Amino acid sequence: MHLTDKNKVYTLLKMIEEVQDYAIILLDKEGIIQNWNSGAKKIKGYHSDEIIGKNFSLFYTHEDQLNKKHLKLLEQATKNGRASDTGWRVKKDGTWFWGNITITAIHNEMNEVIGFGKLTRDLTEFKKNELAKALKARELKIKELEQFTYIASHDLQEPLRTVSNYIQIIEEDYGAFLDQQGKEYLSIIDQAAMRMKALVSGLLDHSRLGIKSKTTSVDLNEILKATLTDLKSLIESKKATVHYPKNLPNIIGYKVELHQLFLNLITNAIKFTNDNIAPIIIIGCEKRMNHWEFSIQDNGIGINSKNFDKIFNIFQRTEETLHYKGYGLGLAHCKKIVELHNGRIWVESVIDQGSTFYFNLLSQTNE
Ligand code: ADP
């Protein structure tokens, strides 16, 4: 028995209709959905009655829609006969899937484009595996780097201790034989050794952040209260005023590190002011979609925008503030602490008007 052309076309259409692993969609020239197979229903979640007549742009993320990605793909397919793309797409229930699509132009006898055939493959599982592998590799690298930093800074302490001890011995046993210049040289070596000690111990503290701690439910009201108690004498000596909300949330996090985060940011807000201006610090806390956004605003010397990222790197300080005491560690600690909580930290600032440091922490409990 031979298949007629009609049989062949019918069989092909039936296969297209029933294939499950591909979404096969017929679009008109404007991208309006004309037909839809069962694979499309499986991948995108719409029944054909709900989707036919709608523009295919609704599978695109808000950002892609704003960038008119769907229209650009149709233009490309019109021009070249075919367009393909891989990226996140949106299902009926709002969840995303990683889709690989090919759009092919359909022409009439006059070679005019009259519509498009669109084929979509759901590669979410593949993408998830890829992301998980990349994440694992990154975690391993970070762990390795942290171990290296820990070992390096730990082992550097011993020879430094020896240098400091011998400086002391020279001062005590041979101080009487040194002239003024000799004493000055010794004092420079001593200061350099002390500075190096502080840097090494700062590096060690940095690599230890979060290592031995466990997450618990943390009451941020308590943390802020304890921080302000720690800073009582600095606040009084600088005549600073600190305004803060009375009902901060509880969050799941690392208690000791969160204390350090508030302590570093509020200390900086008080420290980086001109002597003739009494610091006014305003602490804010706003609920966002799935996190809390905190802000610590000061009326201090401000930061040049070219340094907004740099100051969060370890040992980085700005030229304008070299006369203030410090090693450029506080904000690097803050960044690591916020990232331990899967959050983000950033700054906005205007020179001579003040700075606002923002960070967010996931809201998970007892809001
Ligand atoms: P340190 O205070 O030890 O210098 P930090 O890491 O806390 O180190 O800060 C890094 C640099 O960022 C500081 O040297 C300073 O230049 C700048 N900075 C931090 N906080 C403020 C602030 N509130 N106002 C102005 N500059 C700031």
**In this predicted structure, what is the pLDDT of residue 173?**
95
For ligand 1, say whether the CB of 281 is within 6 Å of any of its atoms.
no
Section 344-366 average pLDDT: 89
Is there a common fold for 123-208 and 212-367?
A: no
Say if residues 355 and 297 touch (Cβ distance below 8 Å): yes
For ligand 1, say whether the CB of 265 is within 6 Å of any of its atoms.
no
Structural domain spans, the chain: 5-122, 123-208, 212-367
User: Across the chain, what does the average pLDDT equal?
Assistant: 91
Q: Which atom of ligand 1 is nearest to 273's Cα?
A: 24
Architecture of the domain defined by 123-208: Orthogonal Bundle (1.10)
**In this predicted structure, what is the pLDDT of residue 1?**
59
Residue nearest to atom 19 of ligand 1 (CA): 268
**In this predicted structure, what is the pLDDT of residue 367?**
40
- In angstroms, what CA-CA distances link 128 with 5, 17, 123, 133, 291? 43, 28, 9, 9, 24
Name which CATH class applies to 5-122.
alpha beta
Q: Which atom of ligand 1 is nearest to 321's Cα?
A: 16
Q: For domain 212-367, which CATH number applies: 3.30.1330.60, 3.40.109.10, 3.30.565.10, 3.40.50.300?
A: 3.30.565.10
Q: For the segment 7-37, what is each residue's pLDDT rounded down to a tens digit?
A: 777 777 777 777 778 899 999 999 999 988 8
The confidence band for 138, taking pLDDT boundaries of 50, 70 and 90, is confident
Q: For the segment 191-243, what is each residue's pLDDT rounded down to a tens digit?
A: 999 999 999 888 888 888 877 778 899 999 999 999 999 999 999 999 999 99
The confidence band for 183, taking pLDDT boundaries of 50, 70 and 90, is very high
Q: For the segment 32-85, what is each residue's pLDDT rounded down to a tens digit?
A: 999 888 888 889 999 888 999 999 999 999 989 999 999 999 999 999 999 999
Tell me, in angstroms, the distance from the centre of ligand 1 to residue 250's CA.
28
Number of H helices, E strands in the chain: 11, 12
Tell me, in angstroms, the distance from the centre of ligand 1 to residue 262's CA.
14
